[in-house]
Each structure stands twice: as C-alpha cells, then as structure tokens.
C-alpha cells in the first residue's frame, strides 16, 4: 500500500514525539496522552454544554447549532471515538463543528461513561439514553423528532451501530440514518487481514485495540457473542436505517467495517461504503492536516444533508 503524503508526514511527526503506546499507560495517563490535531476552531451558530438524565446519573452533552437559523432542525447524535477508554467531547469538537455546518443540523455530542471505570454496557446505556431523551424532548433542542440520525467514529461508530439495532429492537426512538466512521464491529472475531496487515505503524495498532477491549469488556467468556458489544453478531439487521460506512485502507478496523456494510447490504439496508486509500484510522479527526479527512467529512455532511433535506420530485 502507498501512503497518502500528508498521512505519512503526520505519522512521521507522531513517531518523532516518542509518545509511549497507550496500552503501556494507565487509563488516566492515556487520556492525557490522547491528542488529535484540531486545527482552527470552525465557527458554528451556537454551542451549549448541558447535562441530560442518564441511567446512572447525568450525561454531559455538547450541542452545536448551525449558522443558518431555523425553527426546527434535524439532529445528529454523535458518539466520539477513543476505544471506549479515551476521548471526550473536546477531542472530537472539530468533527462535530464540521458536520453541523455541512449538514445544516444540530449535532449533540455525548460524553458517555468511559472504561475501565465503567465497563460494558455502561457506554451503550448512556448512548441509548441520550438519543431517547433527545427524541422525547425534541422541542428543548429545536429538533424535528422525525429527522434524528446517529453517528460516530471508531468506538463511537460501534456505539452508533449498536444503538441503531437497539432502537429497532425496542421500536423507539425513530432513527433516520446511521453514520459509521471506521467502526469497530467484529470485536471477538478471528483477526481480519487488515488487522494483521496494519497491526503496527498506522496510528491505531492491534495491541492498542486489544487493550481497549480488555478495558471495556467484562471478559471474553461473559461478553462473547453479545451483539451490544459486537454489532456484526446481530442475526437480523433488516429494516435498519440507511447507512454511510467510511473506512481507511491502512486501518486495522478496515475489514470489519466493510464486512458490516456488506451485512447491511445483504439484508436489504440501503448502505454506501466508501474506502479512503492511503490513509489511517482517525483520519477524519485530523482533517486539518490530512486532506482526505476533509473530503470524508464533506462526504459525510452531504450524505446527512440528503437524508435530512430530501429533494421532492416535481414529477406527478
């Protein structure tokens, strides 16, 4: 594989810093070490930090409003990446600002509980509670409850896929779209070719993924086979909302994201799969220095906008 020049430059820079692998650190130190290049802060119409009720206490959320004023907006409930262990609403501020403007929607970023302090399924319960609350209290957020999408990157993509399935199982709330950015879907499966090919040297490593899973799960025997942890294990995914799945060539999670997209497609779900060659896991968070990340954000914003604002045919 040939690396995109901007991606290679970033990888060389990160290597020069000599930051120890996350799996060699405590979770607290790993959170401090987890840094993504944010770039300039993109202006939006308004940003609010608040807390909403959760299953075991309040859940912090950050709400982004677009610059174009409307009475009611479509909404994207966004779940940040970071292996269920690191990351927060600050680390993914740039993605949420970009998607807010590109899709002309309210974006609600969810600061769900992290592992290992809060093991699986704490994050799932928080993420479901957030989309349920927004749906039931749509007027509080100036949101149209019929135009609510979920999305996330990496572990957040895992959570968005899980919540889409969970909402269908519970028949509430209504979700119109799922945006799955290099999602973790396979968890306990046999290592895929991309997990082996990209095990080292491309930002996310196999060792780090194993550490994330060890922190998040309660143990293989207890959690293996649970689709709330590994959404590719859902037996029936027919009837799920349409999806955009984005993957990166040099990403250990590439194949499992693409396998999940195929599972959706085989079940009759409308899905678009886009692979960005020559780049790495997390590249959309690095859009300030990786042009492919900016292109993927624009693709994501367009996909959301087409669902949120469908063009009505003039043909009778």
Residue 31 sits in a domain whose CATH number is 3.40.50.1820
Select from 243, 287, 296, 286 the least CA-distant residue to 267.
243
Specify the pLDDT at position 190: 87
Residue 278 lies in a domain: yes
Q: Structure pTM?
A: 0.97
Residue 62 lies in a domain: yes
Residue 313 lies in a domain: no
Residue 316 lies in a domain: no
Cα(first)–Cα(last) distance of the chain, in Å? 50
Specify the pLDDT at position 35: 83
Specify the pLDDT at position 180: 99
Specify the pLDDT at position 313: 47
Q: What range does the domain containing 110 cover?
A: 5-308
Residue 16 lies in a domain: yes
In the beta sheet, which residues pair with residue 181?
153, 246
Residue 315 lies in a domain: no
Specify the pLDDT at position 312: 62
Specify the pLDDT at position 188: 79
Give the list of residues 6+ apart from residue 33 with CB closer than 8 angstroms, or none.
19, 20, 22, 25
Measured distance CA(14)–CA(233) in Å, rounded: 35
Residue 150 lies in a domain: yes
Q: How many domains does the chain have?
A: 1
pLDDT in tens, the chain (316 residues): 699 999 999 999 999 999 999 999 999 999 999 988 888 999 999 999 999 999 999 999 999 999 988 999 999 999 999 999 999 999 999 999 999 999 999 999 999 999 999 999 999 999 999 999 999 999 999 999 999 999 999 999 999 999 999 999 999 999 999 999 999 999 877 899 999 999 999 999 999 999 999 999 998 788 989 999 999 999 999 999 999 999 999 999 999 999 999 999 999 999 999 999 999 999 999 999 999 999 999 999 999 999 999 986 444 4
Give the list of residues 6+ apart from residue 28 with CB closer than 8 angstroms, or none.
none
Measured distance CA(284)–CA(291) in Å, rounded: 9
Which residues form the catalytic set? 154, 251, 281
Specify the pLDDT at position 316: 43
């Amino acid at each position: 594989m040939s690396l995109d020049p901007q991606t290679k430059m970033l990888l060389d820079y990160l290597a020069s810093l000599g930051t120890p692998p996350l799996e060699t650190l405590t979770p607290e130190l790993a959170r401090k070490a987890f840094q993504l290049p944010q770039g300039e802060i993109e202006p939006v119409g308004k940003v609010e930090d608040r807390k909403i009720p959760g299953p075991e206490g309040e859940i912090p959320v950050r709400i982004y409003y677009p610059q174009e004023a409307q009475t009611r907006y479509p909404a994207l409930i966004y779940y940040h990446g970071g292996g269920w262990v690191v990351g927060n609403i600050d680390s993914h501020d740039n993605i949420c600002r970009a998607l807010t403007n590109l899709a002309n929607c309210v974006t609600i970023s969810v600061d769900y509980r992290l592992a290992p302090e809060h093991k699986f399924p704490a994050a799932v319960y928080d993420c479901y509670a957030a989309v349920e609350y927004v749906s039931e209290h749509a007027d509080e957020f100036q949101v149209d409850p019929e135009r609510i999408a979920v999305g996330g990157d990496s572990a957040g993509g895992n959570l968005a896929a899980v919540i889409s399935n969970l909402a269908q199982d519970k028949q509430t709330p209504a979700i119109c779209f799922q945006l799955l950015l290099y999602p973790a879907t396979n968890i306990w499966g046999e290592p895929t070719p991309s997990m082996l090919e990209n095990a080292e040297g491309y930002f996310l490593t196999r060792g780090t993924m194993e550490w994330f899973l060890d922190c998040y799960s309660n143990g293989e025997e207890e959690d293996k086979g649970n689709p709330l942890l590994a959404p590719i294990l859902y037996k029936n995914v027919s009837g799920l909302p349409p999806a955009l799945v984005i993957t990166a060539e040099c990403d250990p999670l590439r194949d499992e994201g693409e396998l999940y997209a195929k599972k959706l497609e085989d079940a009759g779900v409308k899905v678009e799969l886009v692979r960005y060659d020559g780049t790495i896991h997390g590249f959309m968070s690095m859009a300030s220095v990786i042009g492919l990340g900016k292109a993927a954000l624009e693709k994501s914003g367009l996909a959301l906008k087409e669902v949120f604002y469908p063009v009505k045919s003039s043909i009778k």
